């Protein structure tokens, strides 16, 4: 790989029917100078859904570089043969199951969210076999391939990979820090997040920034926190009209409350679901959740635009845009392919990086990435407040993987009872029993 020449790299996007696929394609095509490609494949077990995107993707690629081979397939052998990178973003059960993940907990007055709370645990148990299946396909047909896995819920998926496929060439990542760092750059007056250096520790969707430095090495965290205490991650004078939907504005504003619990660090905004679950439930509509917003908004918009491109035979004037999470994927693939030693936040086994935390926990920390994989940076010790929150959450994630391995109802009940988002074991049992019915055919049979 280190001697890779022009047009030498082949990638497969697992979950090719995702509405994020066009964004990733556009990012790959915009970075051919950094990551030259000879082949792009789409792979999905839902050929009909993938087909809604494939014709448009083919046109996007042909208009940018017709020398790149394009394949869309439902056959794992075709998908995984002769590939260097698998970009995996599968959603087992698709959006109708996400809708149930969100609405069933809300029925009981509990956080209903894609990756947090009982819905996130349900999604995790549902996702494990799909991710493992794709790892096995990759190792069978392209054993030297790297899988860059950003399938949600990333924390549970990462723990399952650590335990069930410990020697596989899989790197678990998440785009959430990229969005936060874009906000930080904007707040601090920089054009790009890449102008700043960050220190961060935590779990996926569950962490804190301890340092933000400018190119001259000046510490800007106090300035950032001072802003967050007043405005959260919004800008002065902003309103929900300045955001694509009100939930993003609400989330950015809520950071004001999260950071007040420890003003020495800048928090991940997902902590709102764990620290203020009552507020989250109060501002949720049990009849119309985020899944419905995505189905009525993003799904229709992306599939509609792809249909327009296919019919017109050209992508000229397209409304499709590169997404923030696509940038991270290209950075990671480039670092692995060309040994750039880029510093990136990855989800990796702790192994002592956080000195006073479970060495087997999957933590999200800065790593140096090169052709041989990643090297985690040392974090040192962390404070009691953060350590306590993290340990509770990492135990929840481990119990879900226990439930998968052992087909254990008890382990899944323990996971839901331990979750900070669930008020009691009584409520946990009611939610779990309803989720078991909803996930028939997706979950292992629990007993």
Catalytic residue among 123, 249, 270, 273: 270
Characterize the bridge pairing of strands 342-349 and 362-370: antiparallel
Q: What is the mean predicted confidence (pLDDT) over 349-357?
A: 98
The answer to whether the CB of 339 falls within 8 A of the CB of 332 is no
| Residues facing residue 316 across a β-bridge | none
The answer to whether the CB of 319 falls within 8 A of the CB of 332 is no
Q: Is 175 a catalytic residue?
A: yes
User: Which residues, 6 or more positions from 338, have their beta carbon under 8 angstroms from its beta carbon?
Assistant: 2, 4, 34, 371
pTM: 0.96
Rounded Cα–Cα distance for residues 396 and 398 (Å): 6
Two tokens at 283? 């501002």
Catalytic residue among 101, 175, 250, 331: 175
Rounded Cα–Cα distance for residues 226 and 197 (Å): 19
pLDDT band (50, 70, 90) for residue 372:
very high
Rounded Cα–Cα distance for residues 315 and 305 (Å): 9
Residue 4: predicted pLDDT: 44
Is pLDDT at 1 greater than 80 in this prediction? no
Residue 419: predicted pLDDT: 98
Two tokens at 188? 């601090």
Residue 312: predicted pLDDT: 97
Alpha helices, H only, 317-383: 324-338
Query: Please, is 208 exposed, middle or buried when counting C-beta atoms within 10 Å of its C-beta (0-12, 13-18, 19+)?
Result: buried
**Which of 352, 357, 444 is closest to 394 using CA atoms?**
357
Q: What is the mean predicted confidence (pLDDT) over 1-30?
A: 83
Rounded Cα–Cα distance for residues 145 and 85 (Å): 5
pLDDT in tens, 23-52: 999 999 999 999 999 999 999 999 999 999
pLDDT in tens, 383-431: 999 999 999 999 999 999 999 999 999 999 999 999 999 999 999 999 9
Residue 325: predicted pLDDT: 67
């Amino acid at each position: 790989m280190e001697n890779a020449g022009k047009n030498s790299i082949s990638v497969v996007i697992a979950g090719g029917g995702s509405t994020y696929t066009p964004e990733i394609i556009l990012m790959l095509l915009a970075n051919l100078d950094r990551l030259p490609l000879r082949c792009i494949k789409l792979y999905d077990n839902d050929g009909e859904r993938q087909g809604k995107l494939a014709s448009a993707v083919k046109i996007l690629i042909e208009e940018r570089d017709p020398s790149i081979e394009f394949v869309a397939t439902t056959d794992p052998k075709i998908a995984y043969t002769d590939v260097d990178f698998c970009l995996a973003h599968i959603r087992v059960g698709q959006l109708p199951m996400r809708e149930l993940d969100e609405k069933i907990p809300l029925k009981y007055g509990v956080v209903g969210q894609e990756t947090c709370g009982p819905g996130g645990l349900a999604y995790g148990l549902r996702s494990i076999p799909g991710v493992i299946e794709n790892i096995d396909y990759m190792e069978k047909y392209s054993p030297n391939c790297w899988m860059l896995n950003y399938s949600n819920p990333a924390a549970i998926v990462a723990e399952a990979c650590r335990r069930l496929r410990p020697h596989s060439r899989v790197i678990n990542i998440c785009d959430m820090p990229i969005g936060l760092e874009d906000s930080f750059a904007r707040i601090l007056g920089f054009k790009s997040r890449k102008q700043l250096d960050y220190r961060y520790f935590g779990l996926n969707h569950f962490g804190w920034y301890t340092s933000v430095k400018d190119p001259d090495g000046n510490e800007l965290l106090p300035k950032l926190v001072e802003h967050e205490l007043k405005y959260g991650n919004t800008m002065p004078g902003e309103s929900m009209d300045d955001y694509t939907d009100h939930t993003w504005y609400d989330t950015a504003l809520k950071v004001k409350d999260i950071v007040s619990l420890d003003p020495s660090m800048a928090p991940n905004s997902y902590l709102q679901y764990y620290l203020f679950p009552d507020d989250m439930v109060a501002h949720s509509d049990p009849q119309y959740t985020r899944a419905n917003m995505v189905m009525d908004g993003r799904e229709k918009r992306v599939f509609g635009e792809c249909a327009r491109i296919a019919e017109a035979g050209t992508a000229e004037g397209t409304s499709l845009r590169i997404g923030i999470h696509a940038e991270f994927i290209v950075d990671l693939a480039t670092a692995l392919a060309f040994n750039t030693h880029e510093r990136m936040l990855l989800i990796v086994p702790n192994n002592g990086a956080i000195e006073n935390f479970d060495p087997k926990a999957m933590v999200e920390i800065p790593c140096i990435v090169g052709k041989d994989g990643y090297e985690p940076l040392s974090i040192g010790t962390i404070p009691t407040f953060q350590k306590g929150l993290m340990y509770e959450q990492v135990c929840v994630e481990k119990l879900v993987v226990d439930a998968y391995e052992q087909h254990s109802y008890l382990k899944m009940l323990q996971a839901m009872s331990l979750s900070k988002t669930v008020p009691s074991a009584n409520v946990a049992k009611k939610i779990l029993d309803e989720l078991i019915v909803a996930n028939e055919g997706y979950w292992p049979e629990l007993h």
